[in-house]
């Protein structure tokens, strides 16, 4: 009997952990188990493993740490899938910020860990957790290749759009430049969008909108991602659940003068955005829309600001990408909020983006624009883990 082969993909957050176990067969990746751990290192920590046949494993414990989460996960997966007989080919990790050094997926070893530690400051909410997850996995699975796939790696900005108008020697010395994030999600959504288009991929231009708790849009020109609304950090660009998005730098200096650097960092990343305007803890857009419908003025203001920022950024990108063949929505808000999609697309009806309100409310995937719409509007459920698995496979096995 032929053995099966598996690929494990990990997404390590500061307080949550996601893993996806794929079976690899005939160049196809098929998800066999998904892992979700929430409130890691907090009260009421919990771990849930969902198997493809609807079996479910749950575990709860106070202050459940990353090592314990991953150890239990590997044990339970091994019990189910027998990794001794059916090996894991590699373990791939989402890594938020690769900085100037890492422009493609990386096979991680002890030497590269030292280099990765040097860029922790570029995404202090994400990179340390990403790196810690790799180190723990290296200890739990010492014979398995660990690969880091960087959110920032796919973007190909032109030179004049890659730096800020600071003194150039300062920018180069400190690595202050425009990067871009949510790369795996944007790439997956673009690849899926091409299946609905009559234009060859290499001639296709459009916008992918990743709207979740973190939000970004990417502008694609002739099949290449040349702009992303997140720039130096995942705090920039659009208004998000708790992150400000773009803000005048002098306002940041005034905040730092009043509150200090660390408190200002916390305000910009954890207390602002939809939460800061609406007062809704966590800035959950579902709660904000519900409050708005019940007449709450702050929630209405937050929603209107959120929509305006998205429309502004798409409008900014269109002349740079030289046209607009499609707009695709993905992630938690983009996939599930028909109201957000409708309000955003209203701003581009004059350009030929004509949303079908019935399809927009009922369709979960595919085209939601009118049949004669010049610009196709799409909903594409994202699959970052699948794209990370594919990128890692290409690194290891493609000639």
DSSP 121-188: GGSTTTHHHHHHHHHHHHHHSTTSEEEEEETTTT----GGGTB-SS-HHHHHHHT-B-----HHHHHH
Q: CA-CA distances (angstroms) from residue 123 to 13, 110, 212, 284?
A: 12, 21, 18, 23
Alpha-carbon distance of 229 to 252, in angstroms, equals: 19
Contact 345, 355 (CB under 8 A): yes
Alpha-carbon distance of 311 to 346, in angstroms, equals: 9
What residues are annotated to the active site?
Answer: 151
Beta-bridged to residue 10, according to DSSP, are: 19, 93
Copy the structure tokens of residue 292.
């708005």
Percent helix, percent strand, percent coil in the chain, to nearest 5: 45, 25, 35
Residue (of 180, 236, 242) closest to 212 by Cα position: 242
Spell out where the chain has E strands. 5-12, 17-25, 28-38, 45-51, 56-61, 88-95, 106-107, 145-150, 206-211, 215-221, 224-228, 326-330, 366-367, 376-379
């Amino acid at each position: 009997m032929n053995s099966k082969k598996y690929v494990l993909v990990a997404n390590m957050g500061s307080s949550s952990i996601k893993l996806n176990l794929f079976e690899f067969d005939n160049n196809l990746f098929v998800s066999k188990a998904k892992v979700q751990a929430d409130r890691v290192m907090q009260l009421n920590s919990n771990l849930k493993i969902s198997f493809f046949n609807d079996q479910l494993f749950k575990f709860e414990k106070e202050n459940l740490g990353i090592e314990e989460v991953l150890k239990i996960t590997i044990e339970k997966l091994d019990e189910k899938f027998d990794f001794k007989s059916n090996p894991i080919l590699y373990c791939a990790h989402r890594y938020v910020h690769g900085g100037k050094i890492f422009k493609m997926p990386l096979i991680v070893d002890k030497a590269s860990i030292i280099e990765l530690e040097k860029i922790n400051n570029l995404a202090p909410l994400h990179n340390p957790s990403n790196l810690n997850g790799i180190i723990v996995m290296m200890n739990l699975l010492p014979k398995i290749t660990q690969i880091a796939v960087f959110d920032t790696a796919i973007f190909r900005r032109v030179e004049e759009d890659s730096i800020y108008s600071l003194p150039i020697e300062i920018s180069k010395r400190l690595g202050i430049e425009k990067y871009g994030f949510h790369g795996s999600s944007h790439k997956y959504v673009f690849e899926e969008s091409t299946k609905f288009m009559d234009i060859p991929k290499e001639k296709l231009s459009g916008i992918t909108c990743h709207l979740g708790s973190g939000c970004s849009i990417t502008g694609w020109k002739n099949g290449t991602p040349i702009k992303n609304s997140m720039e130096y950090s995942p705090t920039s660009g659009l208004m998000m659940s708790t992150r400000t998005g773009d803000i005048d730098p002098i306002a940041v200096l005034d905040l730092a003068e009043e509150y200090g650097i660390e408190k200002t960092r916390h305000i910009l990343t954890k207390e602002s955005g939809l939460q800061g305007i609406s007062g809704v803890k966590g800035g959950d857009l579902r709660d904000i829309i519900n409050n708005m419908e019940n007449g709450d003025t702050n929630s209405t203001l937050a929603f209107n600001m959120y929509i305006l920022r998205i429309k502004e950024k798409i409008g900014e990108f269109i002349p740079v990408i030289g046209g607009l063949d499609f707009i695709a929505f993905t992630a938690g808000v983009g996939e599930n909020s028909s109201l957000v999609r409708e309000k955003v697309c209203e701003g581009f009806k004059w350009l030929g983006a004509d949303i079908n309100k019935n399809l927009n409310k009922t369709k979960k995937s595919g085209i939601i624009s009118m049949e004669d719409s010049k610009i196709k509007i799409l909903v594409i459920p994202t699959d970052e883990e699948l794209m990370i698995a594919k990128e890692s496979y290409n690194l290891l096995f493609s000639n």
